[in-house]
Amino acid sequence: MEDDEYWELVTGLRQRIADQLETLSAADWDVPSLCEGWRVRDVAGHLSIIPTVTTRELVAAMPRAGFNLHRVNTLIARRYGSVEPAVIVARIRDHAHDRTTAKALDTADSLFDLVVHGQDMFLPLGQRFEVEADAAVAGLERVWSMGWPFRAGRRWGHVTLTATDGEWSAGHGPEIRGPAVALLLLLTGRVEAATPRLEGPGLRLSGPRRTRAARPR
């Protein structure tokens, strides 16, 4: 995928997430998301600061988070998710076109992060968040190749994963097939949310191969 095409998808998803968040009730913001331990507002807070967060801010949070990267992520998400919803929405919208993030992070994660976290927020609210197949397939390619924290190739390489709405397949073994966004949820640890939209003999297996925990991010 060309760089400009990638960022066009990122911008569009940020704008659509901001639009949909703006329709939520006050109670909706405190509903638990699919991302373990995060409310809808925490996920939104996380997305709101990805373009502007600095490595210095991440490092500063390390001692309080016990030098655990997952806890750093959670600490900052809750901090920025604790403000008024209108502030969160405005921050997402104001930085929708940004192509930056902290030097300690990777802008190559921006697209799949939006695809997955959009589902994290809206599915528990009984809402759909439609994602272009191209964006979901690009997310699959990134997650499959990146290793930590999901280790998708090691955990799911014993089955063949096939997107039914885009040109993507990976792994070897009994097939699991379905929409690319559902496969992306599977690879990033949202197994219960993913499986109702998937089919194939690979689903009868016990699940991912054990490795160090692939925790939602």
User: How confident is the model over 59-108, as pLDDT tens digits?
Assistant: 999 999 999 988 999 999 999 999 999 999 999 999 999 999 999 999 99
Go through 49-82 and write b for each residue having 16 or more CB atoms within 10 A of its CB, e for each that does not.
bbbebeeeebeebeeebeeebbebbbbbbbebbe
Q: Residue 135 — pLDDT band, cuts 50, 70, 90?
A: very high
Mean pLDDT to the nearest integer, 15-34: 98
- Identify the pLDDT of residue 1: 76
Nearest-angstrom CA–CA distance, 200 and 217: 27
Question: What is the tens place of the pLDDT at every residue in 145-185?
Answer: 998 999 999 999 999 999 999 999 999 999 999 999 999 99
| Backbone φ, ψ for residue 114 (5° rounding) | -70, -40
Nearest-angstrom CA–CA distance, 99 and 97: 7
Angle, in degrees to the nearest 10, between helices 133-146 and 110-122: 110
Question: What is the tens place of the pLDDT at every residue in 183-210?
Answer: 999 999 999 999 999 999 999 875 676 4
| Residue owning tokens 């992520």 | 73
